[in-house]
Structure 1
Amino acid sequence: MKKFAGILIMTVFFSGYASAKCDRDEQTIFSCLTGKSKLIEVCDAGKTVSYSFGFPNSKPEIVVTVPRNKASTYQWEGIGRYITYSVNIPNGNTDYNVFWSVDKLSDEHAVEAGVNVEINQELVATVKCVGEKSIVQNIEGIELQRTE
């Protein structure tokens, strides 16, 4: 469990999550299920960082693996209404920006998470996670270069 600015946030694993794609020797940086029951996942293998998207227990529709020095992160700096963390995985002219955010001023402290897809620095799609209990968020404090 992690505590941010008076907000208790839990990383939850549940029995139905056995479909994770990260190998045993990889750390799950982020994962969640979408409204269409697809899995968004980011895995840390030490020298590489991978992004995958697709139905659990099936071959992913998208898999992008980059050297660790090519991935980047945005880390909340303690200022502002939204506590936000993200990991950016580039693939040619496409960037997969996996994000997690919470509104610290709202009564419900709702979490918003998912992936933004940008092509040539233009947002072309956002796929959001559903069900906070399906979200695993280990982006905070990850040692990657900072997103510019």
Structure 2
Amino acid sequence: MKQKFGLSLGACCVVIGTMAQADCPAGQEPFTSCQIDGRNTEVLVCFDEQVVTYSYGPVSGTPDLFLSEPIVHIDFEPWSGLGKAISESVTFYNGDFAYDVGGGFDRPFSEEEMLEPIRRFGWVEVTESGAMAAYLECIPETVSYGFGGDIHDIKVAARQIWDSDSLTWISDSIVPPVPPLLSESHLYETIQDCLPASEFSLNGVSVGDPLDTLGKLGSPEMVSDPFGSGELIDRMVLVGANIDIFQDKVYGMSTSSPGWGTPSGLRVGLTRGEVIRILGRVPKGYNAMSDRYYIHVCSDVQDAEDEWGMLIEFGQDKRVDSISFASPLH
């Protein structure tokens, strides 16, 4: 469970400030709200046991933007437990845009500080495709922020675990494979991590499979090699996945759909922390916040035919956006 701090700020929870003039949807509780400095607008984040909602617009007016996200899926960052300031935030994603909304306050450490007004703060950070688009500060005296349970406790009750390295939540239903999926490759000048050949498979279709075993999936069409070799290949375009074929064998696959997964359970939609748990560790050369992992197949022979690679790409929501396999054309 999340640690509670704050001296005599309260045994269970702390609510700092009064609610902004906007109201939560029926049945929901406020997480944070404030009026935006210099804009005559307000932001309000509310939640219940199922969803978290975001609304932004004119003070006491109809919101210009309203978003909702299932609470088990919401990108919620709890307080780290460090420093004088207590703050938490939630991020909503809408197409290329992300809206990070946070609230917080400075906790007093002495009797003198307890007699002083508590400093409150809040923000809305807007990004587009990961690039900063706007940063809005709250008027301090309008900030309302409740600390002490709320979204965090609901996610924990849903059997999710916060990973402070990747800044993502991990479902405790994801169990790391034994032995670990990643192992070390010593074929090159530097030690690299690699994946077993069995992992280069999506829903039972594997790199290297002959074309005549794929008949039930559909008929391929000729396209240019997407990796820029200049060769023509055959491609099966399926619901949520592409299968690339060269010389009557599967040489590449890609998916952007959670309906396709590897034998270990890697799939689109997993958080970065969940991927790391399945792999067993962060792949060498990367960190827990990297936006992609590229991992070679494990092989005892240094040969171009064995250089399959898996590329796992993460979106701005810190979840797997796509998985692709490729091997050199030969």
Query: How many Å separate the matches in 1 of 2:100 and 2:148?
Result: 15
Identify the match of residue 98 of structure 2 among 92, 95, 100. 95
Match of 2:130 in 1: 121
Identify the match of residue 131 of structure 1 among 140, 148, 151. 140
User: Does structure 1 residue 24 correspond to structure 2 residue 12?
Assistant: no
Shift of 1:139: 5.2
Shift of 1:51: 0.7
Query: How many Å separate the matches in 1 of 2:28 and 2:139?
Result: 24
Shift of 1:50: 1.0
Match of 1:63 in 2: 66
Query: How many Å separate the matches in 2 of 1:124 and 1:105?
Result: 34
Shift of 1:24: 3.1
Query: How many Å separate the matches in 1 of 2:104 and 2:17?
Result: 16
Identify the match of residue 52 of structure 2 among 49, 52, 56. 49
Task: Give the TM-score normalised by the residue count of structure 2.
Answer: 0.38
Shift of 1:10: 4.8
For CA contacts below 8 A with separation 6 or more, give which structure has more relative contact order: 1
Counterpart contact for 1:86–1:97, Cα < 8 Å: yes
Counterpart contact for 1:71–1:90, Cα < 8 Å: no
Counterpart contact for 1:87–1:139, Cα < 8 Å: no
Amino acid aligned to 1:111: R
Match of 2:18 in 1: 13
Shift of 1:103: 5.0
Counterpart contact for 2:103–2:143, Cα < 8 Å: no
User: Does structure 1 residue 86 correspond to structure 2 residue 95?
Assistant: no
Amino acid aligned to 2:134: A
Match of 2:274 in 1: none
Gaps of 5+ in 2: 169-330
What secondary structure is seen at the aligned counterpart in 2 of 1:70?
Answer: coil
CA change 1:91–1:69 in 2 (3 A) is farther
Query: How many Å separate the matches in 1 of 2:132 and 2:32?
Result: 21
Query: How many Å separate the matches in 1 of 2:8 and 2:137?
Result: 22
RMSD value, Cα? 2.8
User: Does structure 1 residue 39 correspond to structure 2 residue 42?
Assistant: yes
CA change 1:5–1:32 in 2 (3 A) is same
Counterpart contact for 1:7–1:104, Cα < 8 Å: no
Amino acid aligned to 1:37: N
* Larger helix share, 1 or 2: 2
Shift of 1:130: 0.3
Counterpart contact for 1:97–1:116, Cα < 8 Å: yes
Query: How many Å separate the matches in 2 of 1:44 and 1:102?
Result: 20
Alpha-carbon displacement from aligned partner over 1:28-66 (angstroms, at most 9, x marks no partner) = 111111122211101114322111111133211111112
Query: How many Å separate the matches in 1 of 2:60 and 2:103?
Result: 24
Counterpart contact for 1:85–1:140, Cα < 8 Å: no
Same amino acid, percent of matched pairs: 25
User: Does structure 1 residue 76 correspond to structure 2 residue 59?
Assistant: no
* Number of corresponding residues: 142
CA change 1:140–1:40 in 2 (3 A) is farther
Counterpart contact for 1:38–1:55, Cα < 8 Å: yes
